[in-house]
Structure 1
Amino acid sequence: MQFARLGPVGSEIPVAIDTDGEVLDLRSITGDVSGPFLAADPVGTVRRARSAGDLPPIPRPDADALRRGAPVARPGKVVCIGLNYRDHAAETGADIPTEPIVFMKDPMTVIGPDDEVLVPRGSTKTDWEIELAVVIGRTARYCASDQDAEACIAGYAIANDVSEREFQLERGGQWDKGKSCETFNPLGPVLATPESLVDAGLDPTALGLRLSVNGEVRQDGSTADMVFRPVEIVRYLSQFMVLYPGDVISTGTPAGVALGSGAPYLQPGDVVELSADGLGSQRQTIGAA
């Protein structure tokens, strides 16, 4: 089962997408795909409501005509992991980390997967980063094992960790400034539950990730190249902060970003397309703030 949010900004409809592709309107059981919903056995709740006939389907053509919002309503926090792919560390000349590199991203950066991304005023180095995002479904506090951490994961999504490299690296050395500009976190289109990936024969530690700019492939990697796996990241973070249902963790990016590859940085009018095995696709047109 996958969860999504469809419709205009601020008026998204929470939906579930079953393995047969049927889109179910969840408004009879939840106001949104949010932390409280994810914490309360969302898959079981949907299955029970469906069996009771309480979830009207949305015809597929109607669903496909709606804007795709971020699959999780405004997260409490977005935590990011830097240099978590061996090939990305190599392309930037950095050492492979011995512990996860952690920074935060303003949750207000989260937008839909196809919404416009804005190059900030004064920017000359706006970059792309396809990432596997982990969404928390159960409070994670001092997880004692990877198994404990795994039980706290509600699902996975695509994130584009858009980054302004001058702001990030050359303006005081504080990464958050280059990561928290408006529109810098397209997310979705779906939140895929761990169960849905297993049913599709997929493993979050071996998903293909692809990104192109104006039709030219820039990133073509796999989560198999991660230094720290998603469950390791959740366990690690829970030792330093409490992770709450609805929080998002971006787990790093493979090689191919402009910073490391020498490709041109993003400009208004560019088109960025992303896809990941089992998680769908994104398409953003770049505009100017």
Structure 2
Amino acid sequence: MTTQHWHADAELLSAYVAGELDAISGASVEQHLVRCAECRTAIAAHVPAPALDRAWAGVRDAVQSPPLPLPIRIARRCGVSEPTAVLLAATASLRTAWLVGAFVAVGFATFAVMVAGQDHVAPFLLVAPMVPVIGVAAAYGPDQDPLEALVVTAPFGRTRLILIRTLAVLVSVLPFTAALGLLLPGPDWLAAAWLGPALALVPVLLAVSSFVGPRTGAAVLSIAWSGVVLLSVRHFPATWPVQATQQLAYLALALASCGVLALQARRDRKIGALL
């Protein structure tokens, strides 16, 4: 047979599809199929339809769905839907550089307190509650969000997007910071008390950002929280900005902010219904 005029018969094509040919014969048939439209048409009858469908599905998945980062793949294995995983994949706050920076900042603050003692716990109280706030601020916004153009044009609630990414930021940084809090000198309740302002400042940031944007909102909260901590420094350790009375104020702020977010979510639903 010649390379120009021969065609693979049905038996040869069937053996090729079944993988029964040796390496040399298989390579010869494969090269011939590349150049021969008639044989490519003939081989279709020998390929089981389910196998062909699976092959095309694999090609589509490989082209349309590039591999997600490892944390997102883990999230999907935990039951997170694919659309939500895509939203998480674009979250700037979940990138390695930001996470490493956040952990280093909290780690240095914790080390400073351990060296200086409980009278100098201000560095940890200053940094720890603001880490989630800064992470949430970095999670969305026109300059940080690769999906911003899609979000503003698609019938998808921005509030849901922000809340999903906020939850991801909290899950990524709070356990590590809480573990470092156990190393702090001073009363045992201090290891968990900082979670009050940390969790309260996040909904406050989201509410404020709906009016002035994430960067301005984060800056305002950073200045405000710094003022609260620094005003308490003179009275450490007799006065802490995370005691029971302050925790009630943080809870009230969080509830008020959640009310604002609920109104924003209702507005988003109305806008989505009109689109």
Quickly name the TM-score band, shorter chain normalised: under 0.3
The structure with the greater share of residues assigned to helix is 2
Which has the higher Rg, Structure 1 or Structure 2?
2
- Given the two structures, how large is their TM-score scaled by the length of structure 2? 0.27
The structure with the greater share of residues assigned to strand is 1
Higher relative contact order (CA 8 A, sep 6+): 1
